[in-house]
Structure 1
Amino acid sequence: MIRRLFVAAVALSLASSMALASPTCTKEPQDKWLSEEVMKQKIGQMGFKDIKVFKKTSSWCYEIYGSNADGRKAEVYFNPVTGEIVENNVD
């Protein structure tokens, strides 16, 4: 019984930590990435605004925290080579 509870707890812990992990956006080296200036322009053209955070992640993405075109809070991960959205989390 205790072993089953332990296994269930470990499985739940792994599942929740995986859900919190950021996506992997590319495997391309950084010399193939769009420059931060070009990427910021693309992001603006997509309708994102009020960008509070723009950063490179350890999972090979550009990530922003700001607002979408509707004014809703957004956390968005972009492929830094193509500029495409990989994951879009909107509140």
Structure 2
Amino acid sequence: MRKILLLSLIVASPLALAGPQCTTEQRAQWQDPQAFQDQLKAQGYEISKFKITDGNCYEIYGFDKDKRKVEIYHDPVSGKAVKTEIKG
């Protein structure tokens, strides 16, 4: 029984860490990554890390305008936040 539980946890682990699916639009429809980051910076965000996820999101790590540490997934077409995690 323990082996089955352990195996199911190992198999499910990557799924638990997966981020959201943000869009199925072609990349030609996406906002320019640098222009998108510049817009966020103009709103007071400090971006420490920016990446494009497997779920077709723009993901940022950094600080919001209130200096709270955040991880935010954005739809790269609309720019809207799909998932926000405030870390502190």
Q: For the superposition of Structure 1 and Structure 2, which TM-score range results when normalised by the shorter chain?
A: 0.7 to 0.9
Return the TM-score normalized by structure 2: 0.80
Asked if the contact 1:42–1:83 (Cα under 8 Å) also holds between the matched residues in 2, the reply is no
RMSD (Å), alpha carbons = 1.9
Identity percentage of aligned residues:
36
Asked if the contact 1:66–1:73 (Cα under 8 Å) also holds between the matched residues in 2, the reply is yes
Query: Matched residue of 1:81: which SS?
Result: coil
Shift, 1:46, TM fit: 5.2
1:70 aligns with 2:66: yes
Q: 4+ residue runs of structure 1 moved beyond 4 angstroms?
A: none
Question: Structure 1 residues 14 and 32 mapped into 2: Cα distance closer, same or farther (>3 Å)?
Answer: same
Return the TM-score normalized by structure 1: 0.78
Asked if the contact 1:23–1:86 (Cα under 8 Å) also holds between the matched residues in 2, the reply is yes
Aligned residues: 87
Q: 2:85, 2:15 → 1: CA distance?
A: 16
Question: Structure 1 residues 20 and 46 mapped into 2: Cα distance closer, same or farther (>3 Å)?
Answer: farther
Which stretches in structure 1 are left out of the alignment for 5+ residues? none
Asked if the contact 1:26–1:80 (Cα under 8 Å) also holds between the matched residues in 2, the reply is yes
Point out the more displaced range, 61-70 or 10-19: 10-19
1:88 aligns with 2:87: no
Which stretches in structure 2 are left out of the alignment for 5+ residues? none
